[in-house]
Amino acid sequence: MRDVGASGAVAAPDGEDGDRQFVTALARGLQVLRAFRDAAETLGNREIAARTGLPKPTVSRLTHTLLTLGYLVHDDGERYGLGPAVLALSAAFLRQNSFPQLARPHLQDLATAVQAHVALGLLDGVHSVYIQLWRGAGQTITLSREVGFHLPLARSVMGMAMLAGMEEGERGAMIERLRRDSPAEDRPRLDATIARCLREVEEHGFCVGVGVWHRDINAVAAPVHSPGARGLFAVNVSGPAFLLTETVLRTDTGPKLLAAMARMRALGIVD
């Protein structure tokens, strides 16, 4: 959904310049929707303008239109949230793409087995977006994440797993884009993380992130390919660093993730 540059603003969609078939007004309306980082967030016109880079008068017209059509809702003040029409589009996507539904019981079992958060993510520009999220039955420590939450590819182990799942040419182009969008001082860290995670996926089937996204959260992730599914997916297991230590991730959580993938592969759910 969102494509955010180094400045934090939602980047203008590709194809706007010089494409006579490109509808700029529609693209700007979609930029407004992409400014919302999760389903529960509310934003005012000033915040939306800052995130999208669009002029505030333009944002005001767009939010009014999207509100009228049900893609946004208004709270008691001057803030907007995502509306039911967005949910209807999400439901249509899930109906057309059966993979998340088929994977659901297996990933819920995984969440219960590891007592951690399990997320199914879908590639979205330079981010991965959570399209399904499970917590273990009886899990006592939870993270404040929701369906629709975006993780930057450059700063998450789920993003590294998605890079590993790409075709070589696509991966090279994406890595160049991530490096271009990263501050120069961050590029050595990014290069080292990418190299390590690609190697781990090749050797073990999953990659480990120790404080990659947040210093207090560790994770393990693996790319997922499903026959007939639209888009590039990855499964991410995350939790507090004091519980999911690097040793636990490598010797217990990661192998359990691979076992869940193997069960789905035996049923033809994943390749």
**Domain ranges within the chain, ordered by starting residue:** 24-89, 97-266
The sheet carrying 43-44 orders its strands as: 43-44, 79-82, 72-74
Quote the CA–CA distance of 220 and 213 in Å, as a whole number.
12
Q: What is the pLDDT of residue 44?
A: 92
pLDDT over 60 (residue 10): no
Q: What is the pLDDT of residue 131?
A: 87
Taking alpha carbons only, the member of 56, 9, 60, 16 closest to residue 35 is 9
Range 97-266: architecture per CATH? 2-Layer Sandwich (3.30)
- Beta pairing, strands 79-82 & 43-44: antiparallel
CATH hierarchy code of domain 24-89: 1.10.10.10
Q: What are φ and ψ of residue 91, in 5° steps?
A: -65, -40
pLDDT band per the 50, 70, 90 thresholds, residue 39? low
Quote the CA–CA distance of 40 and 171 in Å, as a whole number.
32
Residue with tokens 């057309």: 96
pLDDT over 80 (residue 88): no
Quote the CA–CA distance of 91 and 268 in Å, as a whole number.
23
Identify residue 119 by its one-letter amino acid code.
A
Q: What is the pLDDT of residue 83?
A: 85
Same fold, 24-89 and 97-266: no
For the chain, percent of residues with pLDDT exceeding 70:
86
Residue 186 CB neighbour total at 10 angstroms: 15
pLDDT (mean) for 11-31: 74
pTM: 0.69
Q: What is the pLDDT of residue 5?
A: 44
Residue with tokens 């079992």: 109
pLDDT over 60 (residue 208): yes
Quote the CA–CA distance of 169 and 175 in Å, as a whole number.
10
